[in-house]
């Protein structure tokens, strides 16, 4: 089992000012590595010191127990920002709920997988998960029995959809 959950998160808003505020909020004050463009600590501050870490407090704030291990801005459009990030053991779902609560007019969509055991999809608006699914990776046991790595795929209906995002913004 991998100890890193890879996530793709899409922040969608019809108001460019909302996306600008989100982009600024998640930006690390001092990038930890080249290309470090999203920081959980910047997004939802815990005040935790890396040398005196509290996994339970971090998990309560972020939905994952340690800071991100990598981040990347994958796509930027007028109505969305798409980031890729890796976090220890689980996706930072609590961060997505928090950001959606703090920024009216924002829809957050996330798909995550640890690459072997789980995969998940969530849509967040107004501080709540309006749609959430998680399941085991199909075919995992068979692949493990054969000693093979399994490429995790996501159901087609888990992909980001502008139509769904607009429907969620409209309150549907």
pLDDT classification of 157: cutoffs 50, 70, 90: very high
Q: What is the pLDDT of residues 6-56, one digit of tens each?
A: 999 999 999 999 999 999 999 999 888 888 999 999 999 998 877 777 889
Structure tokens at 20: 């600008």
Rounded Cα gap, residues 107 and 131, in angstroms: 11
- CA distances 37 to 28, 59, 96, Å, are 6, 21, 16
pLDDT classification of 143: cutoffs 50, 70, 90: low
- CA distances 122 to 29, 157, 161, Å, are 27, 11, 12
pLDDT on residue 138: 67
Q: Output the CA torsion sign for 66, 135, 97, 61.
A: negative
Q: Which domain holds residue 54?
A: 4-171
């Amino acid at each position: 089992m991998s100890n890193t959950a890879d996530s793709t998160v899409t922040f969608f808003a019809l108001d460019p000012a909302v996306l600008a505020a989100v982009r600024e909020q998640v930006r690390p004050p001092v990038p930890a590595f080249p290309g470090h463009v999203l920081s959980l600590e910047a997004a939802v501050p815990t005040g935790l010191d890396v040398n005196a870490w509290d996994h339970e407090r971090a998990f309560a704030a972020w939905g994952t127990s340690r800071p991100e291990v990598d981040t990347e801005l994958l796509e930027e459009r007028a109505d969305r920002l798409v980031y890729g990030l890796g976090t220890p053991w689980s996706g930072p779902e609590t961060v997505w709920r928090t950001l959606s609560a703090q920024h009216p007019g924002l829809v957050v969509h996330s798909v995550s997988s640890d690459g072997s055991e789980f995969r998940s999809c969530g849509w967040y608006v107004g501080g709540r998960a309006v749609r959430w699914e998680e399941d085991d990776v199909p075919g995992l046991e068979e692949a493990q029995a054969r000693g093979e790595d399994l490429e995790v795929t996501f159901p087609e209906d888990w992909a980001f959809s502008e139509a769904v995002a607009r429907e969620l913004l409209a309150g549907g």
